[in-house]
Amino acid sequence: MTLNPQPSTLNPPVSLITGAAGGLGRALVAEFARQGWRAVAACHRQPAQPETDTVWPLALDVTDRAQVMAAVARVSQRWGAIQVLVNNAGFTADRPIWQLSEADWDRVLAVNLKGAFLCSQAVLPAMMQQRDGHIINVASFSARQGARGQANYAAAKAGLIGLTQSLAKEVGACNVRVNAVLPGVLPTPMTASLGAKRLAELAQLNALGRLNSVAEVARFVVFLASCANVSGQLFQLDSRLAPWA
């Protein structure tokens, strides 16, 4: 039984990163590849990253069960079993709830929560059979404290934390780890519309007075992926403070 796959030039472990076209997704793919992993860069639109020996761009709608199952089968056939799944696909449609359409509610829940469920369900049979694997869910500080105009997003990310902890209990006996990270506000296309003034205000909510970076989050996620004895945990990666309960 392999308790903790370590990158090897002879048999690199395989990671699947969803939402790979975004700022954090690109950084995750690059960091996994840099540290000796094979990285499947799954994104909803046309893959934006070039294919290499260690990076495989793959078009994937995480809300479509058939596409998810087919993608996992293709990866397993080409590169072998997936050791790490990073559920990073995200989508926002920010509006006050009285202006929020049902379609925007459904889409945000589908991408952020249902997608993580479908992808996790697809990779788990092999992980449980080989008695090794790690699922890392990218959640949000909004799930802990809420945010104006983000009822749909906060609800989806709170559900993702619940999924993380429930799934960790379900698959722990098979040596499959499940954890979540709160990356913080990052300088990515998703936050570009906030503007410099709002980003500066958000930075001041941090004890360190600054925002996190995609590079630091990516390094932490790859480190967490190699941890053999950590599961069911929530890791906040910026310096905002929240109540204990």
Known catalytic residues are 153
Task: Find the Cα–Cα–Cα–Cα dihedral 64, 67, 68, 71, rounded to 10°.
Answer: -160
The residues, ordered by sequence, that sit 6+ positions from 106 with a Cβ below 8 Å of its Cβ are: none
Whole-angstrom Cα distance, residue 82 to residue 211? Answer: 32
Whole-angstrom Cα distance, residue 68 to residue 122? Answer: 7
Q: Is 16:74 a contact under the CB 8 Å cutoff? A: no
Whole-angstrom Cα distance, residue 57 to residue 49? Answer: 6
The residue assigned the tokens 């910026």 is 238
| Count, residues in the chain | 245
Whole-angstrom Cα distance, residue 22 to residue 6? Answer: 26
Q: Please state at what angle helix 151-171 crosses helix 102-109, rounded to 10 degrees.
A: 30
Q: How many CB atoms lie within 10 A of CB 38?
A: 24
Whole-angstrom Cα distance, residue 20 to residue 18? Answer: 5
